[in-house]
């Protein structure tokens, strides 16, 4: 008679079998580690160019430690004047101020796939800045731009031991670093203006200013260590970029900038998913699933984010939901927040708490 396994041992064997059969587990175990430093050769200023040669090629499941720069190829630094900040803003017409490290080519990523990007660790560099441009010259940049005619800039050293920044005596800010901009290669159908005013080339560079289906300037402050972003793939290799590094941001990012910093390291793990289909990015944290919506009209951005939340709930397999039930659930437990109002395309993200699902 064969020996009977104890229930605990049987569960252990089953767990091992599941892990062995999981492609993600296998990739994590065998993945290589790579490093991508931020240099003038690996960092692009203000544009996502699909024709830019990859700076690194990795396999699905590898890990990458990426360094980032401050804005405008690291030209934003302590001591810079508002006039110099304005000149840098004007020096790259149509482009964003963001310094973008990349692109990183992920082997096996094809258009129509999903690229799962896990954020494993973030280590900031030791200074940060916040500024608004003068409303008298930039009357549409910032929620209160017409009421703030002058520019304002404040540099803050970061205490990386206590993970805090002092805004001024009596005001201390806890650091919660995240990538303001995390992107895959451009969507050829993105209606954004293209570099140089090109109108008939879907592969012309796209500014980093506007968030879109490929992510880009999402400014979603939930993208901290331990979170995961799922991107629809538009171009072969996925093509990952990151920059616009933030060390803290309130929802809305109302004056134009967050606590802008740069990262000594953001450690990510990209995984190619052939078993998923997405139209817009989706985020997962330890406690929430997060849908996103972007549009020049904040009301339409809200509609996009809510629709994505409803679609996610209808598709999930934990508890079957009709579309009406999903819509009802989002209204009761979905926390829809304004991500930012300063990137031409406004952003909304709707947070669905995992805790409402009690069925195992």
Q: What percent of the chain clears pLDDT 90, i.e. is strictly above it?
A: 91
The model's pLDDT over 170-227, given as tens digits with 9 standing for 90+, comes to: 999 999 999 999 999 999 999 999 999 999 999 999 999 999 999 999 999 999 999 9
pLDDT (tens digit, 9 = 90+) per residue, 229-267? 999 999 999 999 999 999 999 999 999 999 999 999 999
Task: Please state the domain extents for the chain.
Answer: 31-276, 287-360
CA distance linking residue 129 with residue 52, whole number of Å: 29
**Alpha-carbon span 19 to 3, nearest angstrom:** 24
The two tokens of residue 231 are 């991107």
On the question of pLDDT at 86 being above 90, the answer is yes
Q: Which pLDDT tens digit goes with each residue over 169-180?
A: 999 999 999 999
User: Residue 336: which pLDDT band, with cuts at 50, 70 and 90?
Assistant: very high
Fold entry, domain 287-360: Endonuclease I-creI (3.10.28)
Record the pTM: 0.90
pLDDT per position as a tens digit, 154-163: 999 999 999 9
Length of the chain: 360
CA–CA distance, 345 with 168 (Å, rounded to integer): 32
Does 2.60.120.580 match the CATH number of domain 31-276? yes
How many Å apart are CA 243 and CA 340, to the nearest integer?
16
Ordered alpha helix ranges (H), the chain? 7-21, 23-30, 71-74, 82-90, 298-315, 323-333
């Amino acid at each position: 008679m064969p020996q009977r396994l104890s229930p605990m041992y049987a569960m252990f064997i089953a767990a091992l079998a599941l892990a062995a059969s999981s492609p993600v587990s296998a990739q994590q175990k065998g993945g290589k580690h790579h490093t991508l430093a931020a240099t003038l050769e690996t960092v692009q200023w203000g544009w996502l160019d699909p024709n830019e040669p990859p700076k690194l090629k990795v396999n699905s499941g590898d890990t990458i430690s990426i360094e980032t720069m401050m804005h405008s190829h690291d030209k934003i630094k302590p001591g810079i004047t508002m006039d110099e900040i304005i000149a840098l803003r004007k020096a790259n017409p149509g482009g964003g101020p963001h310094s973008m490290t990349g692109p990183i080519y992920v082997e096996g990523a094809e258009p129509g796939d999903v690229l799962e990007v896990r954020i494993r660790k973030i280590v900031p560099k030791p200074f940060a800045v916040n500024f608004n441009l003068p409303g008298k010259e930039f009357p549409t940049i910032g929620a209160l731009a017409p009421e703030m005619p002058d520019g304002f800039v404040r540099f803050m050293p970061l205490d990386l031991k206590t993970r805090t920044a002092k805004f001024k005596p009596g005001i201390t800010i806890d650091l919660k670093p995240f990538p303001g901009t995390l992107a895959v290669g451009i969507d050829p159908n993105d209606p954004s203006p293209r570099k140089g005013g090109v109108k008939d080339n879907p592969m012309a560079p796209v500014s980093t200013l506007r968030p879109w289906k490929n992510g880009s300037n999402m400014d979603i402050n939930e993208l901290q260590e331990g979170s995961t972003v799922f991107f629809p793939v538009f171009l072969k290799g996925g093509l990952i970029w990151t920059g616009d590094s933030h060390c803290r941001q309130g929802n809305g990012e109302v004056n134009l900038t967050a606590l802008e910093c740069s990262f000594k390291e953001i450690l990510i793990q990209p995984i190619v998913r052939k078993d998923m289909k997405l139209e817009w990015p989706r985020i997962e944290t330890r406690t929430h699933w997060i849908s996103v919506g972007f549009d020049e009209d904040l009301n339409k951005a809200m509609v996009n984010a809510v629709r994505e939340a409803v679609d996610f709930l209808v598709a999930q397999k934990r508890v079957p939901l009709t579309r009406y039930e999903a819509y009802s659930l989002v209204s009761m437990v979905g926390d829809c927040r304004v991500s930012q109002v300063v990137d031409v395309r406004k952003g909304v993200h709707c947070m669905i708490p995992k805790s409402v699902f009690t069925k195992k």
